[in-house]
Structure 1
């Protein structure tokens, strides 16, 4: 159990708390759960009454359309919080699926533990403050994704996404959290078309790429 405390200390929800508080008041309130790859943790339209800290593995957040198409919204890695946005809504009904992309381990908490004043008031206020920050960051990520998907051309979507990453990291060389298939799903484009366009952009000297490492060489024209 002691190896979990540093992970929780890095989790935004508990980052203001001392290790002793995490060990004595936070850790005992959760249950450690393990799920194999491809397990559906949250199904679209589920009503969710829990939240969890991801301790190990990756979780894909996706929307599955009636025709079977998948719209990848993001990928969570430790120490991300799962379902923080859902428990703050009136219905707590999920608009997305959360699926284990690898074997995962979670520390899951009942929602009532957070909202029924079972914590010291100062600790609870700290967690509430960080929860508000988490939800705000989720909203900003959705805004950025809308800005990407509003671009009409494939090249425009690619460059908008990569430029956002470079600006966020203040560096023209960076890694992204997606493989090619995941990036295609995130941008809502065909994987083959994405690979072809990236190769063409490399030939034109706009970028260099190796797997999920990208280097922006110059400002390319944003046209599809």
Structure 2
């Protein structure tokens, strides 16, 4: 099936750049093993973490489908990764074998894209919060709901969480201390308990 799609597989080590902003890309990436982050830098070099990727997650699909010449994102491996690259032209065209695989692949990709759209709407809701406190409480409440537990481990370091929430790290650390002191939560590094 990968041969039918003219897919290729590549391995990346932790901290390797999987996709660099400014690169022309014509293939959709799928994380088969490991994890990565999608990041974007502004004109001043400030990094924002747009999303965390894990097994079966797609990336670059929106830019490839929209025909972007250069992608504005960078994808960095946060653990050793195995990525399958599928040329977009092969995804949208039926193969000469007329196999059901293509229909199933497109269905699955559309479902993944729909879930990503919902997730991006949730992130926009977090980022639209006015204060660091509101952003933290909203993110932690959403994460707690997603994992179904009030005690959980987030996938970010403090610096990464600040980048993800688009807030100053020291201001965020102060707010976390206040939230702990006010009885909203307990935490140790990236392990949290929402009270």
Asked if TM exceeds 0.5, the reply is yes
Q: Does 1:116 align with 2:117?
A: no
Match of 1:132 in 2: 110
| Structure 2 counterpart of 1:192 | 170
In the superposition, relative to structure 1, how do residues 102 and 167 fare at CA in structure 2: closer, same or farther (>3 Å)?
A: closer
Structure 1 CA distance for aligned equivalents of residues 154 and 136 of structure 2: 12
Any residues of structure 2 matched to 1:142-161 within 5 Å, and which? 142-161=120-139
Contact 2:28 2:58 in 1 (8 A): yes
CA offsets, 1:154-181, max 9 Å, x none?
1011001111112223332222221211
Distance 1:92-1:162 versus aligned 2 partners, 3 A rule = farther
Is 1:67 matched with 2:44? yes
Show the counterpart of 2:15: 38
Q: Which of 78, 83, 105 does residue 60 from structure 2 map onto?
A: 83
Gap runs ≥5 in structure 2: none
Aligned length, in residue pairs: 193
Look up the match of 1:49. Answer: 26
Determine whether 1:208 maps to 2:186: yes
TM-score (norm: length of structure 2)? 0.87
Checking the alignment, whether the CA contact within 8 Å between 1:84 and 1:134 is kept in structure 2 is: no
Q: TM-score, normalised by structure 1?
A: 0.77
Other structure's SS at 1:33 match: strand
1:80-107 alpha-carbon deviations (Å, 9 max, x no partner): 2232333332436423211223332222
| Root mean square deviation, CA, Å | 2.1
